[in-house]
Amino acid sequence: MLAHAAIAKLFSLPIILTTSAETGPNGILPKEISSMYPSAPLIRRNGEVDAWDNKEFRDAVRAQNKSQIILGGITTDVCTEFLALSLREQGYTVFANTEASGTFTHKLAADANERMKDGGVILQGMFAIVMDLMRDWRNTPGSLQVLPWLDTYLPAYGYVARGHEAAVQNGTLAPGEAGLKA
């Protein structure tokens, strides 16, 4: 979820934060997320499970005047799915970050993802969302900004980039690398 939250900062995207019931079972927004965006709208819902059912949240989304929304939530089959499908009903193009939420079983996640896909929601993982937003390594943000971000939030890709950097810097290949298929 932290990586998902950090995507907006990387690409200077507008962000809306929300909680369903701060005194209820889900509690407050993690400070790691709220501290990333101290001036972002934080909609403290009164218990509405689907964020779209809250007028203040709807107004905040509409005030951004955007037609595409990237979202994630605590649980895939409730927080993410309910809002994603409500936004689709309102005509928004919705990208659900499949790595930004979880649920209790793989079946629940698969069922929720299937319902969202059937409802026209675009399901993408974090890496695909970031690459879709970047579009070209030469852009800004591009490799200069995105590679350090990936090194922080997707270490497996960071290892690939660091390995490439090391090979370029020392001009050598490890035994066996020369014969690998390109």
Give the gyration radius of the chain's Cα atoms: 19
Amino acid at 160: V
53: its two tokens: 């059912």
136: its two tokens: 């070209």
Mark whether 79 is an active-site residue: yes
Q: Are the C-beta atoms of residues 97 and 129 closer than 8 Å to each other?
A: yes
Among residues 3, 79, 84, 87, which one is catalytic? Answer: 79
Torsion sign (Cα): 117, 119, 120, 123: negative
**Cα separation, 39 vs 102, whole angstroms:** 27
3-class DSSP assignment, residue 9: helix
For the annotated catalytic residues, the residue numbers are 79
